[in-house]
Amino acid sequence: MSNCDVTPLKVHQYCHLNRLFACALDMTMAVGQPPYTCACFYTDNIFLENFHLHVRYTDEQQFRRDYGKVLHRQGCQTPGQLRQVLETIEKEVQRRKKLGEESRKRRTEISLCYKPRHPELYVLQESFLAGEFLAAVKYSKSPQANLEGMVQHLHSITDKRIYQLPVFLPGFCTKLIEELENFEKSELPKGRPNTMNNYGILLNELGFVDTFTAALCEKYVKPIASLLYPDWGGGCLDSHRAFVVKYSLQEDLDLSGHYDNAEITLNVCLGKVFADGNLYFSDMREVPVNERKYAEVKHIIGQGVLHRGQHIHGALPITSGERWNLIIWMRASQYRNKLCPMCNKEPLLIETLGDGDGFTSTREDKAETVNICSLI
């Protein structure tokens, strides 16, 4: 329980606030756009931790048909065990429905009550950034910039369009972890990044988005991404979601293979001291399983890995210490409005109470969207 008393807002007030915040948070999102998610958020990519399996659930019949055999093979064999799995799914769907409202409450409470240890970190400064990163950004903005020249500033991981480069100076990484640990120690409420990461911090709730991660994406990462991934919306990234994940022997050790709800992902290792826990990449989701080739990337403190969100990847277990990584999922509405990266179909837009998942809607389309405020 927190000792901070926040007057609860009614749902319709949240809907209103939500619109205002969304406009302020997104990098260059169209003014007045409410946040949207795809309807698949409430049915698809539900992670069953005990079976290391992502599932889709629309009704019990569909679920039994699609996953009955694989679950049976993995030990879910009695009606009681299946009931437990169904309850897990139901709980997760309910959590997702309340996510936006809960996050808004936490953000309000944190902004009123949290005392940062290093308040100067909340506004991005060039002094936080590595010289190599600044040089890469400078090149990306030069008139003669092209892909070939850009790649000279980065370390290419095989031929898979995965790139590693220094982003933050080590001193900044140490201070950022100190800040995050200070927040962890507080009694304030904490949201968790997703169902696969049980430990970590949502940077939008802590107040890093407007003045830190939005600037990092817009001014620094986007020019690089526009050269590396023009076919994945690299040049028209217009919103993002930022969070920090934490791995330790007592908490999460590793991360199962998955793809991100992002067109482009930046993953920066912040520290601390750890052994193993490499990032691994398989292939793009459309490549058949038996043709996928694997690559591993060693985490280096301060260095970031850029990759396409649809590139299947995961994290191997650490064997000692503690690892913290900053993850930024960058979205391009022009791209995802046509194809939702999570269901791989044209998105069915639902107005949400949260920050949304980077979709936008034209005025004509709005008549066909569902307003989640009306569902509660």
Q: List contacts with Zn ion (CB under 5 A).
A: 38, 40, 340, 342-343, 347
| Secondary structure percentages of the chain, helix, strand, coil, to 5 | 40, 25, 35
What is the distance between the alpha carbons of residues 57 and 148, in angstroms, rounded to a whole number?
A: 44
Residues that bind Fe ion (CB under 5 A): 260
38 binds, among Fe ion, Zn ion, none (CB under 5 to 8 A by kind): Zn ion
- Please, what is the minimum distance in Å from the beta carbon of residue 260 to Fe ion? 4
Q: Which is nearer to Fe ion, 110 or 264 (CB)?
A: 264
Q: Which is nearer to Fe ion, 292 or 366 (CB)?
A: 292
342 binds, among Fe ion, Zn ion, none (CB under 5 to 8 A by kind): Zn ion
354 binds, among Fe ion, Zn ion, none (CB under 5 to 8 A by kind): none
15: Cβ contacts below 8 Å, ≥ 6 apart: 353, 373
DSSP state of 212: I
Q: Which is nearer to Zn ion, 42 or 114 (CB)?
A: 42
| Closest-CA residue to 321 (of 345, 344, 301) | 301
279 binds, among Fe ion, Zn ion, none (CB under 5 to 8 A by kind): none
Q: Which is nearer to Zn ion, 40 or 188 (CB)?
A: 40
Residue 308 CA from chain centroid, whole number: 13
- Please, what is the minimum distance in Å from the beta carbon of residue 366 to Zn ion? 18
Neighbours of 17 (CB within 10 A): 15
78: Cβ contacts below 8 Å, ≥ 6 apart: none
Q: Which residue has the tokens 């004509």?
A: 364
- Please, what is the minimum distance in Å from the beta carbon of residue 233 to Zn ion? 16
- Please, what is the minimum distance in Å from the beta carbon of residue 359 to Zn ion? 9
Q: Which is nearer to Fe ion, 260 or 322 (CB)?
A: 260
260 binds, among Zn ion, Fe ion, none (CB under 5 to 8 A by kind): Fe ion
Return the exposure string of 190-212: e unless at least 16 CB atoms fall within 10 Å of the residue's CB, then b: bbebbbbbebbbbbbbbbbbeeb
- Please, what is the minimum distance in Å from the beta carbon of residue 251 to Fe ion? 17
